[in-house]
Structure 1
């Protein structure tokens, strides 16, 4: 009898082996569901819902529609040059450069007793209004169009920094789940982008770019809804007279943390790894749709290309979660940066039309190119996100994570404007693409330059602490835990008690 009980309890016994085939093919299907349910239990469903809506619906699906719609809006409605489109893109990204401001507001300035809900509501409201203005106005002047696009970008940035505070807090409270949280963010974003790009070309063809902007009011409306549903403690007796002091204290804490070599060194690497990867996507897009020198892809084809390319991003997120999430930061960033730089050779082959010499059609080759680019970009980006969450001091997680993300966004804007300058210098216009290959070659070489700065990245793995003890155990941490300043802290504690 004892032997029979041992046989049942032993996971490696015969009975377990007999049950294994019963799971069959559904085992692989159940694993992601169980993983998702585990996150809902450990981190609370409201946090998971917020991640899915902000990263998946707003930034993933909405970002895909926005990208394709804006490309055609600038090309066909505003009729600008590729270098000008790059410059305007940098302007619309300005709200992302001041993310620490949004982070400070969400950390120290509650509205009607709530710290997170009002900011979701504000972000959704301004986004809906901006998209409706772009959609219903016959033809906005470029300055007013940029103002509306920047306002919509600001709405996405405020929602992003608000959910980022949750991500940073939960990464600290559950260090073993830090990589899983980033995987949830990446998977939500990738799946949303896949769906968005799949229908973006169709919507642009049927509704036009301005009609797509009207559809983008829906994701902003869902962000507004999250602001009404997300559960967080209510603090009606907040002392607003202490806001100035808290801002000063938060600023001092941020400066103290930023001066630490273990923090500023990775920040320098993150900036240059993004800034040196020059963005020349508008030059490539104009070439894609050109009827003379380019493949002359239709609107539907452009959407399908980006949608299939987003599968590469999804595969990158799955690959990181399944295989790479526990590898040391420095080793992983070396290989991902190297592969990212080499993958740009596919763009060069396409523009030089070498694919046709090998008998590979443009559409098939572009799909491969976009998929590889998205996958390598995701693999390069995810360890940087996990590293950023590890650098956040307790008590001001939202603010400091926003600061780190703003550094990254400065790098992205630098890459966008740098790419625009490169296209302008090489005289790549709406109809002239003779030097586009040279722009791609220069971009590829610069992508390899960050390898020389890898010594700035710690050798630590994602499961270990990076911050020094004196910063990690701050007074703000104790005060935050006692007053439960950050959303969902009480819910997380309840999950931990169980």
Structure 2
């Protein structure tokens, strides 16, 4: 009897298999997550639904972002004509109001590290939308500059939160599904919103009071809030698993980890070198937008609809350039493309000199027509120059840092534009450009032109080809990083090996007992 029971004990050990439930508890997964057949069966339909939902969210979100020019055009005319601000003060207010954009890395780190209801992107868009519309809720803010400045800062804080979340959503979805055209699609939606915003802004500026135009924009923000509040990140396939954050790990520890990952990502040459070039190329050019705007509206007495339509033409050009880049120019070496755009941008700044010197009248072109066709060209090229860098960094962005890295890029670009604006204020003050004296404005434009050529001296920091950077990044990842998606499989293999060793030990003990009984 002893022999038989011992032999049965030995057979039970031989036939025993590792306990699956124990492994699932260790890796924080359920058996359904490893059902490959079911995932393949429903993958096509789920991806199709998620892609359509993503296109809807991306299109609406960036269209509303581009439509922000609608209230901003109103605000600029209000400060120039109703508050009678001089050009330097007007430009100072414009740049100071963009300071919340510098805090984008903070919002990006929070978006990556802290989930709200199991989602990391859409809730932040829903939070930032109502904050963005705060300018319409203060009817007396338009009468005093300090109150108006507070509303602008609060509104731009909401804009920064929504922009960070949208950029991270686009980058994360594009990386997960290997879609490289989402940034171009976002630029197209952004340009379309800018076209309609400037077109309607120039028309309704003469028909409606400022507060009414702010309320119209708030209605659009409410529509965006309703659409995004009804969306779910699970439908996009971006929901983080429950085991994404280690058990017992505090939010502060996770934030520190995100900061560390961001620093590591930025320190890589493939990201750091092009990032420093685009930031320096913007910050090195003093912008005289406030002086040019006051000159057009006060000296040339251009109608608001003309200025609004010039912005529309600029956005149409941006839309066309984006389509051309997405269709044809992606094949051009990035360094050559950026060099050509930078040279074109420098010479486009001289078009303001033509308008100030009234050279256009000598060749029979009225001020309205010239401003309508060429006034927004420099701004359009400056915006388009960012697109290749956005595509590059979105491609090279490490997984888990989508919000942090894209927000850092946006913050760096915003900070460089603020520095550029402050340079412009200092230059205008140094040259003595005032509301009643624009005689030194041509000198300022020539200084702008020379400064725009300086970044060509270090254009070697821009990669020659996007595909080369992707290959180099892929090779670096294979050498230095754990293969993506294999952490759980490695843990399962480890547990299977451990269980196998236990079974072997038990089998040896059972054989020994059997031999001893004989």
TM-score normalised by the chain length of structure 2: 0.78
The 8 Å contact of residues 274 and 461 in structure 2, kept in 1 or not, is answered as: yes
| Equivalent residue number for residue 467 of structure 1 | 473
Secondary structure class of the residue paired with 1:207: coil
Determine if the alignment matches structure 1 residue 373 to structure 2 residue 373. Answer: no
Alignment partners' CA distance in 2, 1:409 and 1:150? 14
Cα gap change, 1:481 to 1:312, in 2 (>3 Å): farther
Q: 2:400 aligns with which of 395, 398, 405?
A: 395
Determine if the alignment matches structure 1 residue 132 to structure 2 residue 142. Answer: no
The 8 Å contact of residues 394 and 477 in structure 1, kept in 2 or not, is answered as: no
| Equivalent residue number for residue 198 of structure 1 | 199
The 8 Å contact of residues 328 and 462 in structure 1, kept in 2 or not, is answered as: no
The 8 Å contact of residues 98 and 406 in structure 1, kept in 2 or not, is answered as: yes
The 8 Å contact of residues 69 and 210 in structure 1, kept in 2 or not, is answered as: no
| Equivalent residue number for residue 30 of structure 2 | none
Q: 2:251 aligns with which of 243, 250, 258?
A: 243
Alignment partners' CA distance in 2, 1:244 and 1:470? 30
Alignment partners' CA distance in 1, 2:105 and 2:368? 42
Secondary structure class of the residue paired with 1:458: coil
| Equivalent residue number for residue 275 of structure 1 | 283
The 8 Å contact of residues 386 and 462 in structure 1, kept in 2 or not, is answered as: no
Determine if the alignment matches structure 1 residue 55 to structure 2 residue 62. Answer: yes
Alignment partners' CA distance in 2, 1:138 and 1:170? 40
Cα gap change, 1:345 to 1:235, in 2 (>3 Å): closer
The 8 Å contact of residues 313 and 371 in structure 1, kept in 2 or not, is answered as: no
Determine if the alignment matches structure 1 residue 266 to structure 2 residue 279. Answer: no
| Equivalent residue number for residue 21 of structure 1 | none
Deviating more after overlay: 226-235 vs 440-449: 226-235
The 8 Å contact of residues 74 and 205 in structure 2, kept in 1 or not, is answered as: yes
Determine if the alignment matches structure 1 residue 171 to structure 2 residue 171. Answer: no
| Equivalent residue number for residue 216 of structure 1 | 217
Alignment partners' CA distance in 2, 1:235 and 1:344? 47
Alignment partners' CA distance in 1, 2:167 and 2:467? 18
Alignment partners' CA distance in 2, 1:397 and 1:235? 13
Q: 2:108 aligns with which of 103, 108, 123?
A: 103
The 8 Å contact of residues 123 and 224 in structure 1, kept in 2 or not, is answered as: no
- Taking the TM superposition and a 5 Å limit, the aligned residue runs for 1:336-351 are 336-351=341-356
Please report the RMSD computed on the Cα atoms of aligned residues, expressed in angstroms: 2.6
- Long gaps (5+) in structure 2: 1-46, 490-518
Cα gap change, 1:191 to 1:421, in 2 (>3 Å): same
User: Alpha-carbon deviation of 1:104?
Assistant: 1.0
Q: 2:443 aligns with which of 438, 441, 452?
A: 438
The 8 Å contact of residues 289 and 298 in structure 1, kept in 2 or not, is answered as: yes
Alignment partners' CA distance in 2, 1:225 and 1:381? 30
User: Alpha-carbon deviations, 1:59-115, whole Å to 9, x = none?
Assistant: 112x22133112112112332211112111122111211111111111111123332
- Long gaps (5+) in structure 1: 1-39, 483-498
Cα gap change, 1:42 to 1:381, in 2 (>3 Å): farther
Cα gap change, 1:369 to 1:345, in 2 (>3 Å): same
Whichever of the two has the greater Rg, that structure is 2
User: Alpha-carbon deviation of 1:149?
Assistant: 0.7
Cα gap change, 1:187 to 1:332, in 2 (>3 Å): same
Alignment partners' CA distance in 1, 2:483 and 2:418? 33
Alignment partners' CA distance in 2, 1:449 and 1:477? 41
The 8 Å contact of residues 201 and 301 in structure 1, kept in 2 or not, is answered as: yes
The 8 Å contact of residues 197 and 303 in structure 1, kept in 2 or not, is answered as: yes
The 8 Å contact of residues 82 and 429 in structure 1, kept in 2 or not, is answered as: yes
The 8 Å contact of residues 119 and 162 in structure 1, kept in 2 or not, is answered as: yes
The 8 Å contact of residues 57 and 228 in structure 2, kept in 1 or not, is answered as: no
Secondary structure class of the residue paired with 2:208: helix
Cα gap change, 1:461 to 1:259, in 2 (>3 Å): closer
Cα gap change, 1:195 to 1:227, in 2 (>3 Å): same
User: Alpha-carbon deviation of 1:301?
Assistant: 2.0
Determine if the alignment matches structure 1 residue 157 to structure 2 residue 160. Answer: yes
Alignment partners' CA distance in 2, 1:289 and 1:429? 14
Alignment partners' CA distance in 1, 2:304 and 2:268? 49
The 8 Å contact of residues 395 and 476 in structure 1, kept in 2 or not, is answered as: no
Deviating more after overlay: 312-321 vs 239-248: 239-248
